[in-house]
Amino acid sequence: MNEVLTVAMLVVMAIGVFSGFPVALVLAGTGFLGFVAAVWVGITDFQHLGLIYLRARGVLTNESVQFTSVPMLIFLGLILNASGIAETMFRLLGRLLTGVPGRYAIATLLIGLVLAPAAGVIGASVITVALVAYAPMMASGYAPRTAGGAVAASGALGVVFPPAVMLFFISNVFYLRIGLMYVALIVPVLLMVMAFAVYFAVTLRKTVEIPLDTPKTNLVSDLLFVLASVAVIASIPLSIILGFATLTEAAGVGVFGALLVALARKRLSFSSLNSVTVQTSTMTSMVFFIVLGASVFSLSFHLVGGPNVIFDWISAFDLTRWELLAMLLGVIIILGFVFDWIEVLLVFVPVLMPIISELDFADHVGSAYFAQIWIAGLIALALQTSFLTPPFGYALFFAKMAAPKGINLSDIYRGAVPLVAIEIALIAALISFPQLITWLPEMALGDADAPQLIQR
């Protein structure tokens, strides 16, 4: 009976999501239906209905999770977007990279890192990059597939670059320190940017870039504003890593810094502040409704024994740990086609957690604790890869939504394929050389607090 209820809950949830109903309501509704079905077959009784309230309340009031930082991180990204810093940075990088092949594509990648806080909502990040970078790249003579691929890749980069919101949820799922999760992804993302930049520089080396007519601005002023914005964003992970502030405190200081940048650029009007506040409220409400819905679904799914059923199914294949890891990452990428990252992290990763916890890579990584950081980093990168992978990647659809005339979805697909190949090669390298993920967390944790490491 447990197997029947497990399959039924997954099928009902899939039907609800594909029907277009709000994901939060689908998750909560499926959870309630699963609970009623469990009562009907005698697995539990209605006296345990209060567990749903206790579960939801426990998730939202858990002091160690610091959910209060989520709206501030979203607000921070939106304020920086409203300040027009992306356009200024793109123009500045275009001037600084003069003579470098593919300079506008590389500049597009770099502004994606500055927009990392807003990239928790990938649509906002991709569309913002698109509005800034599409026209200059097309006017400079880039092929539609190159411009589309660069915009989609740039918008997806910030999803896994500190202080992206997604890393907060991954650290919560894996019970990891948020500061360690932040530093774990710095090297992989920078390697990704370098690989993408080399790809564009090589493939565009014979492209004759048409000089752009850019407005005459004060170079020193532009540079100061860009450096100030980078400092505001960098202060969040750095203050957490160095122990100066909690995540909520660091996010609050970051918001204050972003407001100062917008004010100095004379972009902080009542109208813009009102618009950003409304957008922040909308996005935050969406996130927390999904958190509540996922809590209800997760509780009912555990009551019917869903995780154990899935664990038994996968264990029946008798896979090695490497095959199991590859399969899990493949499943994460496929789930990322259909669901937003927050549903994958709050619904499916907890379901797969009994399998993940069985993966023993302590001898390969150096310790069981850092092996968890390594796996969490691989899952984050797998999710980020799914956003770029044709034909269902979210970043591709948003890149088409904001594309000018002359750029088709098929062009963006062709531009994204080599970038996805680069990402998969990078994930393979990170699997082979876990130190690329764990080196900075080990350094940040220090010898005194580090878990006992296995001699490599």
- Judged against a pLDDT cut of 50, whether residue 311 lies above it is answered with yes
Share of the chain above pLDDT 90, in %: 13
Q: Residue 87 in contact with residue 167, Cβ under 8 Å?
A: no
pLDDT score at 199: 94
pLDDT exceeds 70 at position 123: no
What is the residue whose two structure tokens read 């870039």?
209
Residue 360: per-residue pLDDT: 86
The residue with greater pLDDT, 22 or 203, is: 203
What's the pLDDT score for residue 214? 63
- What mean pLDDT is predicted for residues 357-379? 89
Q: How confident is the model at residue 61 (pLDDT cuts 50, 70, 90)?
A: low
Q: Is residue 115 within 8 Å of 77, Cβ to Cβ?
A: yes
- Cα gap 156→126, rounded to integer Å: 7
From CA 44, how far away is CA 38, in angstroms rounded?
6
Q: What is the pLDDT of residue 448?
A: 43
pLDDT for 338? 64
CA distances from 403 to 126, 127, 137, 152, 406 (A): 10, 9, 12, 11, 8
Q: How many helices (H) and strands (E) does the chain have?
A: 23, 0
Shortest CA distance to 108 belongs to which of 382, 409, 415?
A: 415
DSSP 53-84: HHHHHHHHT-TTT-TTHHHHHHHHHHHHHHTT
pLDDT over threshold 50, residue 429: yes
pLDDT, one tens digit per residue, over 316-326 is 777 888 988 99
HSE on the CB side for 74, CA within 13 Å? Answer: 23
Label residue 167 exposed, middle or buried (CB < 10 Å: 0-12, 13-18, 19+).
buried
pLDDT tens per residue across span 433-454: 999 999 988 887 764 455 544 4
Tokens coding 355: 């399998």
List the single range of 95-99, 381-385, 414-418 with lowest mean pLDDT: 95-99
Give the mean pLDDT of 388-394.
77
- Over residues 68-119, the pLDDT tens digits come to 777 887 788 778 778 878 778 888 888 888 888 888 889 889 888 776 555 4
How many Cα neighbours within 13 Å face the side chain of 298? 24
More confident site: 33 or 218: 33
DSSP 404: P
Amino acid letter, residue 295: S
Q: Which of 187, 154, 234, 238 is nearest to 374 (CA)?
A: 187
**Domain extents for the chain?**
1-454
Q: What is the pLDDT of residues 257-282, one digit of tens each?
A: 889 988 888 888 888 889 888 888 88
Look at the block and give the residue holding tokens 């999770």.
65
Instruction: State how far the Cα of 407 lies from the Cα of 198, in Å rounded to an integer.
Output: 24
**Which helix H or strand E contains 136, and what residues bound it?**
helix 122-139
456 — pLDDT class (breaks 50, 70, 90): very low
Q: Which of 115-129, 177-191, 388-402 has the highest mean pLDDT?
A: 177-191
pLDDT score of 455 more than 50? no
How far, in Å, CA of 356 to CA of 379, rounded? Answer: 11
Contact predicate 169/350, CB 8 Å: no
* H/E stretch holding 10: helix 2-18
The number of residues making up the chain comes to: 456
pTM above 0.85, yes or no: no
Find, among 438, 452, 448, the residue nearest to 180 by Cα: 438
Q: How far is CA 228 from the centre of its chain?
A: 24
Residue 4: pLDDT band by 50, 70, 90 thresholds? confident
User: How far is Cα 25 from Cα 68, in angstroms, rounded to an integer?
Assistant: 22
Average per-residue pLDDT for the chain: 81
112 contacts 192 by C-beta, under 8 angstroms: no
The gap between the terminal CA atoms of the chain, to the nearest Å, is 46
Q: What distance separates the 2 farthest-apart alpha carbons in the chain? A: 74
Q: If you write DSSP's letter for every residue of 80-145 in order, what string do you get?
A: HHHTTHHHHHHHHHHHHTTTSTTHHHHHHHHHHHHTGGGGGSHHHHHHHHHHHHHHHHHHTT--HH
Closest CA to 106 of 209, 187, 188: 209
Using the predicted structure, report yes or no on whether residue 363 has a pLDDT greater than 60: yes
Per-residue pLDDT, 454: 45
Average pLDDT over residues 173-178: 86
Higher pLDDT, 364 or 13: 364
Least confident of 113-122, 279-288, 409-418: 113-122
